[in-house]
Amino acid sequence: MAPDAQQLRTYGNWRRPKSAGLGGLGLVPTAVLFLFLAVAGTAAPLNLWIAAITLAVGAVVLVPLAVRDRYGRHTGTLLYSRLAWWRGVMKGQNVYRSGILSKVPGGKSLLPGLAMGSDMYEATDGLGRSFGMIRYHEVEHFAVTISCSAQGGSLVDQGDIDTWVANWGAFMQTMSGEPNLVGFQVVVEVAPDSGEKLHNEIRHQRAATASPLAQRVMADIDRDYPSGSPTINTYVSFVYDAASTVGRSKRTAAEMAVEIGRRLPSLTSRLATTGAGAAAPLSATELTEIVRTAYEPGVSQLIDQARAAGRGSGLTWSQAGPTTHHAKAKSYWHDGATSVTWMMGEAPRGEVFSDVLKHLLSSHNDIDRKRVALIYRPHSPAEAAAIADRDFRAARSRTETTRNGQAHAEAEYLAAAKTRQEEARGAGLTLFGLVVTATVMDRDDEEGNSRMLAAETAVDNLSAPARIALRYAWGSQDAAFLAALPIGVILPEHVVLKLPKTLK
């Protein structure tokens, strides 16, 4: 008797957090709405003009908060982003110049924007491995990056893949209890291989006693194989807050280096069970080289040649940034390359399989370099319980107040109830997002524009099987480019003015 075919597991039930309110309004805007109605109702018997003006002011204030686009963003957010972008362009904040002839102190090539106020430190973990630690002074965050040798899903049994996914879910759940962890990101980078690594390996492994046929075959491989072949690199970055226990001041860089160094051996060993393969922290020089290559892809071959020669690139964190960049509303030019960055507007609807990101992570001939970054911000167990209960009450309230779209409200209620049950059984609750950056090397203007359009079309085609709605990072291409780098820039944590969740 033939064994039953293995049933493929599906994943889903992603929900966008919402607060209770009327229509598209949150809790606080709904309270403000009733306040305006009460004032207008009280003033109407005395003076109709005052009542009309009160209602008009209320409409101007609340309508932008009630009207939302397909990605759930209300009109107020869109208007604010447009005004902030135009204001920045008028001040010239979208253009950056560094180097010895610039206004940057010391003539350094510092990272632009949110990462300019950052420093790099190097320390040693519990296993004696050196690692680079980035400090963001404005938010007092410390980031460390781990390089992984991900095995991928090709020629792997489905049972092993299911085990990896389950272990990754368990890993994310344990991250909710990681002390002072702000968030973590997984970055998968697809870039052309310069061939220097293979050339160096063949040169060192060549034996004088090898047969002429073997030498000719390896010489042909060394000459032909590396050209244009893509390489896939995987990184996991962890971001920690410098705040210590309640009532204590911020910890110093030395204290954070000791604390993170103690945790790295455990983190790397747990990552190995998720299909990440051999995991090791990146040194300060390696992390600097990755960032510099992202901003100036033309130096990648020079860096590989320096590594192959055993002398190192010698790059420091003050040299990691671009010499010049020009951020536009929907594109980003930097040191001889043009990039476009998208953000996840909506998670896949319904259920998906474990290979949902397979096409999005694969290489494409129209894209020179591509990075896909998944950003996670786990809630603590106490926060997860409160959020699950609040979402459940909000969804139940919408089923009682909604007249049109009742079926959609009931579906949300069932999903919120399921999330509440899973959380009560020990499941974690995590905010997540996705950032995609596509980069093409500049040629002449006409060919460069056509190649960029081809790259944008390629990203649309690659994201379609994943059923992920991507939207342009309009007016924030330079900041979104930083968010896709494996350096621990979590954009919501760098916002100067944070709106209460009830306003969103």
pLDDT at 233 over 80: yes
Q: In this structure, what token pair is assigned to residue 462?
A: 């690659």
Q: What is the spatial distance between Cα 152 and Cα 186, in angstroms, rounded to a whole number?
A: 14
Per-residue pLDDT band for 360 (boundaries 50, 70, 90) equals very high
Per-residue confidence at 2, pLDDT binned at 50, 70, 90? Answer: very low
3-state secondary structure of 289: helix
Winning range, highest mean pLDDT, from 6-15, 238-247, 368-377:
368-377
Predicted local confidence at residue 428, as pLDDT = 81
- Rank 13-22, 52-61, 249-258 by mean pLDDT and report only the highest: 249-258
| pLDDT(228) > 80 | no
Q: Which helix (H) or strand (E) holds 147?
A: strand 141-148
| DSSP category for residue 344 | E
pLDDT the model gives residue 14: 85
Q: Is the pLDDT of residue 388 over 80?
A: yes
* Span 418-427, pLDDT tens digits: 888 888 887 8
Q: Is the pLDDT of residue 474 over 80?
A: yes
Structure confidence at residue 326 (pLDDT): 93
Residue range 32-50, pLDDT digits in tens = 778 878 888 888 887 888 8
Q: What is the pLDDT of residue 308?
A: 72
pLDDT band for 439, please (50, 70, 90 cuts).
very high
Parse the chain into domains and list their residue ranges.
Answer: 94-193+228-379+428-503
C-alpha–C-alpha distance, residues 127 and 125, integer Å: 5
Residue 1: its pLDDT value, please? 40
Please give the Cα distance from 297 to 304 (Å, whole number). 12
| Contact between 351 and 11 (Cβ < 8 Å) | yes
Q: What is the mean pLDDT of residues 288-314?
A: 85
- What is d(CA 473, CA 220) in angstroms, rounded to the nearest whole number? 44
Would residue 23 be called left, alpha or beta, if left means φ above 0 and alpha means ψ between -120 and 50 degrees?
left
- Residue 162 or residue 350, greater confidence: 162
CA distance 254 to 257: 5
308-346: pLDDT as tens digits: 777 778 899 999 999 999 999 999 999 889 999 999 988
pLDDT tens for each residue of 116-140: 989 999 999 989 999 999 999 989 9
Tell me the C-alpha distance between 453 and 272, whole Å: 38
**Residues sharing a CB contact under 8 Å with residue 204, sequence separation 6 or more, in sequence order:** none
Instruction: Quote the mean pLDDT of the chain.
Output: 84
Nearest 5°: phi and psi at 422? -65, -40
How many angstroms separate the CA atoms of 341 and 328, rounded?
A: 11
Give 471 or 496, the one with higher predicted confidence: 471
Mean pLDDT of 99-118: 86
Q: Compute how many other C-beta atoms are within 10 angstroms of the C-beta atom of residue 327.
A: 26
